[in-house]
Structure 1
Amino acid sequence: MNSDGPSKKLNKREFLKSAGLVTATAAGATTLAAPYVKAQSPITWRLQTYAGPALAEHVIKPSIDAFNKAANGEMTIELFTADQLVPQGELFRAVQSGTIDAAQSDDDSMASPVDVAIFGAYFPFASRYSLDVPVLWNWYGLKEIWQEAYGEVQGVTWLSAGAWDPCNFVTTKPIRSVADLKGLRVFTFPTGGRFLTRFGVVPVTLPWEDIEVAIQTGELDGVAWCGATEAYTVGWADVNKYYLTNNINGAWAGSYFANTEKWNALPEHLKTLFNLAMDSSHYYRQHWYWWGEAHYRTTGGKLELTTIPEAEWKTVEDEALKFWDEIAATGERNKKVVDILKNYAETMRKAGAPYRYG
């Protein structure tokens, strides 16, 4: 992150020690929260994002910088990047315990212990475009379902969902047919990887900062983690050669989460300000990714574009619908989500262009 942001020199060991001191101090403190007045010490939160430093500069830092400025000394959010304080797979538990105050992530890779977590990140073919995600959450009922699901888990409050980029293959080997997927070792999300194993893909889990080296050494054949914008922004376009234009999802679905006690303790005006900051982040990503996907495909120059013929790719889409039905069978709430996705897809098809073509 830039030097003008909060200090990031705190290592994990020092952080965990200080977190323990804070917890011990809090345990002995009165349970009666005093009303906030400006003369009190500023509120300080630690927020960790799923994104590495280069990507965080776009997907969250502008909104956090704006929040800190607008909070006018009443509150400061210290931003930490992927795995900086805790590993990504432990992020939910860290927020739940209060070790970290908030997080920006998908439910899937942070191991949220809720049934709907499987729909986070890249649920196969759940969306075609980035606008599908806010529409599904705000106008088709997913927001209320997520509130219900996280309301059953103590310690973490789900706050807001938004869209990121599509999920394309960025690889060292060309993909021109479904058969070319077989045996590919790729860094991807848990649910996306689970689906892709049906086509012989080998999902690999590694710390985010290790991916580039793993591709260079041949441990990975690439990623199925992002679109062109991220591939170029984080440097993965420098170590891969090919970009498959077919994607398994049109937009990553991610959310903001907060420790429930810390969220409830905020005065209403700071909650409102944080909600505005989240909306600002969602909006920035809408236009940044939409610009970047076209820009880097056409002018990036580092990745050769390949495409699986539409008729052949339809076999992958058809398999995704079978996957949907399997997930729907796991519980009533998951069935409700799948029914919404099916209804939405049918509505988009009936609406025609520009919602769906063909």
Structure 2
Amino acid sequence: MTTRRKFLTTAAMGAAAAPLATPAIAQSTIKWRLQTYAGAALAEHVLDPAIKMFNTIAGDRMQIETFYADQLVPTGELFQAMQRGTIDAVQSDDDSMASPTEVTVFGGYFPFASRYSLDVPVLFNQYGLNEIWDAEYSKVGVKHVSAGAWDPCHFATKDPINSLADLRGKRVFTFPTAGRFLAQFGVVPVTLPWEDIEVAVQTGELDGIAWSGITEDYTVGWADVTNYFLTNNISGAWIGHFFANMDRWNELPEDLQALFKLCCEQSHYYRQHWYWGGEADLRVNGPKMQLTSIPDAEWAQVEAAARVFWDEVAAESETKAKVVEIFKTYNAVMEKAGRPYRYG
């Protein structure tokens, strides 16, 4: 007869040999809600893999529930909702979520702050931007967890853009700071909920989009409603971040903090190769959009205007001046280094 002791021993050995199943969510499980700036189709790439990885590893210790653009609160209210604790964490740029910091203007697409996506992690990890962002967000009760690069910023339009004159009067969905910069060239910036953009282009409410590169245009459906893609860009990479409510962050044990940071870094790495490969492949092989270009000599006017814009922003505060100086120092190094860091 099998004794109770022998049964328990055998059962324990069998359990040890069997593969671990996904643990049930216990009552003690830490639960977070995270909202991203991205809609569902885009979040499938820029967010979901990282959070799935976190939830799988954290198991019944912690689970993060994700929400897409404007699901819980409008994107422009993300910062306030996170600061209050309505949302525990956010994936966004500073600009879109209207954070009340001195560095908000540099989030998203600060004109010509980067040439390539690798510029962003270098600026944050080797040139001091991490420390500046950490200090600024600590002042307002938010944890700046991690910064990374997204795609470059190009125009996707219904009508062809072959000169700066073609931009005049175009109603364009773009980021706040990018819109402020582009207005001097006659662009009319328009703010709408992210999920409404495709329909707005179809109905004529928008003439175009300056929000992403071509990978995103195809991924989210914008390539289906725009006809042309301008190869000139106003920035080499979007600067975006993961943030968390400071109290929620401080409540986490150190290993879960480390795990969340690690998954954020994995998210950044995924985007590096996903966007980089997609931007080239879709320009060459994508069937939906015709490429147009503004001549380099004419586009140089935009690049020159960006330097003036940098100085205008730098004059607004000591912190902004410090960030602009870092941009200038970094770009000077890259230009002197030459190929492959900078061309021409």
In the superposition, the TM-score normalised over structure 2's length comes to: 0.92
The aligned residue for residue 289 of structure 1 is 275
Q: Tell me how large the CA RMSD over aligned residues is.
A: 0.9
User: Partners of 1:40 and 1:183 in 2: how far apart?
Assistant: 56
Letter of the 2:217 counterpart: A
Letter in 1 for 2:158: T
Give 2:32's match in structure 1, choosing from 45, 68, 83.
45
2:284 alignment partner in structure 1:
298
Which structure: larger Rg?
2
By how many angstroms is 1:72 displaced?
2.0
Q: Structure 2: which amino acid aligns with 1:279?
A: E
Provide the residue aligned with 2:343 in structure 1.
357
Residue 71 of structure 1: SS of its match in structure 2? helix
- What residue in structure 2 maps to residue 175 of structure 1? 161
State the partner residue of 1:4. none
- Gaps of at least 5 residues in structure 2 are 1-24
What amino acid maps onto 1:344 in structure 2? Answer: Y
Which of residues 295, 300, 303 in structure 2 aligns to 1:317?
Answer: 303
Long gaps (5+) in structure 1: 1-37
| Residue of structure 2 equivalent to 1:7 | none
Amino acid at match of 1:139: Q
Structure 2 counterpart of 1:309, one-letter code: P
- Could you tell me how far 1:39 is from its partner in structure 2? 7.3
1:348 matched to 2:337: no
Counterpart among 49, 74, 79 of residue 92 in structure 1: 79
Q: How does 1:44-193 map to 2 (within 5 A)?
A: 44-154=31-141, 156-193=142-179
CA apart distance, 1:151? 1.7
Distance 1:159 1:75 in 2: 17
Tell me which residue corresponds to 1:33. Answer: none
> How much identity, in percent, do the aligned residues show?
68
Read off the aligned partner of 1:51 and give its amino acid letter: A
- Partner of 1:73, secondary structure, is helix
Change in CA separation of 1:72 and 1:310 when aligned onto 2, cut-off 3 Å:
same
Q: Distance in 2 between matches of 1:194 and 1:39?
A: 48
Question: 1:206 offset after TM fit, Å?
Answer: 0.3
Q: How many residues align?
A: 320
Aligned ranges for residues 9-48 of structure 1 at < 5 Å? 41-48=28-35
Q: 1:122: how far off?
A: 0.1
Equivalents in 1 of 2:230, 2:63: separation in Å? 41
Structure 1 segments, 4+ long, off by >4 Å, are none
Q: Alpha-carbon deviation of 1:40?
A: 5.8
Deviations 1:44-86 (A, max 9, x none): 0000000000000000100100000000211000010000100
